[in-house]
Amino acid sequence: MLIAGFPAGPWGTNCYLAATAPGSECLVIDPGKDAAPGIAEVVREHRLKPVAVLLTHGHIDHMWSVTPVAGTYDATAWIHPSDRHLLRDPMAGMSRESAGMLLGGDHEFTEPDDVRELADGVTLELAGLALTVDHTPGHTEGSVTFRTPYDVQPEVSEVMFSGDLLFAGSIGRTDLPGGDHATMLRSLTDKVLPLADDIVVLPGHGEQTSIGRERATNPFLLELQDGAEAGRITKGL
């Protein structure tokens, strides 16, 4: 399996390309602002053919380049229906500060020609890869993660593209339109804590981590685990 990633644009959003091997079809995950040149470079270096563009959520720093990238490679775009409106109106999901970064520019956003919608628990078979989709609202209403088996290192069972759900040492913000902290905590409890420790996490920003590392050190996950343990003790009484 081949995974290549790089931070793109003023927000440093991680864009990833995933394929079974060099010279094959590939997936593009979260092509943010200024991601197109980096994608083209990876495609040339590894002789790849993008066939799908996957969005973990609809925030502008993750989807800025989805339409031009999908158009360039005649690829299908995938997004959860709750965030699909952000493809046409990304300002609806932005903070005042982020919107200020774009003032003075003439930016027009449209949907790609071929858009398909994601659903919780489905497995996508794309570019020879099997990806499990988990709906993880909280950062946005339509946030999702993608997990796929990883056969390169025996000590790693899966790789998870976590978007802005989970970072190394932190979690995604919930103060933007469509965000909700209580919902975020439920997503982490229901979709992250049950996962195996050996899963590698490739987040939307910052360095890679693992479920085990975050379970042991991430203050938000530690608090959730402490709360769950206290609940079990109380019920036992």
For residue 36, give its domain range: 2-236
- Separation of alpha carbons 65 and 30, rounded Å: 8
Q: Give the DSSP H/E element, type plus range, for residue 235.
A: helix 219-236
Query: Mean pLDDT score of the chain, rounded to an integer?
Result: 92
Question: Where are the extended beta strands (E) located within 20-143?
Answer: 25-29, 49-54, 76-79, 115-117, 123-126, 129-135
Q: Greater confidence, 234 or 136?
A: 136
Mean pLDDT, range 57-84, rounded to an integer = 97
Place of tokens 């060099």: 22
Total structural domains within the chain: 1
Q: What is the pLDDT of residue 109?
A: 87
Predicted model pTM: 0.92
Q: Give the DSSP H/E element, type plus range, for residue 232.
A: helix 219-236
Interval 18-32: pLDDT, tens: 999 999 999 999 999
- Which residues are within 8 A (CB) of 83 and not within 5 positions of it... i.e. 6 or more apart? 55, 57, 58, 93, 140, 141, 142, 143, 178
Interval 133-153: pLDDT, tens: 999 999 999 999 999 999 888
Percent of the chain with pLDDT over 90: 82
Q: What is the pLDDT of residue 233?
A: 47
36, two tokens: 């197109």
Q: Are strands 76-79 and 25-29 parallel, antiparallel or unpaired?
A: unpaired
Interval 33-49: pLDDT, tens: 999 999 999 999 999 99
Under DSSP, the state recorded for 186 is H
Interval 76-124: pLDDT, tens: 999 999 999 999 988 888 766 666 565 455 677 899 999 999 999 999 9
The CATH number of the domain holding residue 55 is 3.60.15.10
- Separation of alpha carbons 207 and 153, rounded Å: 19
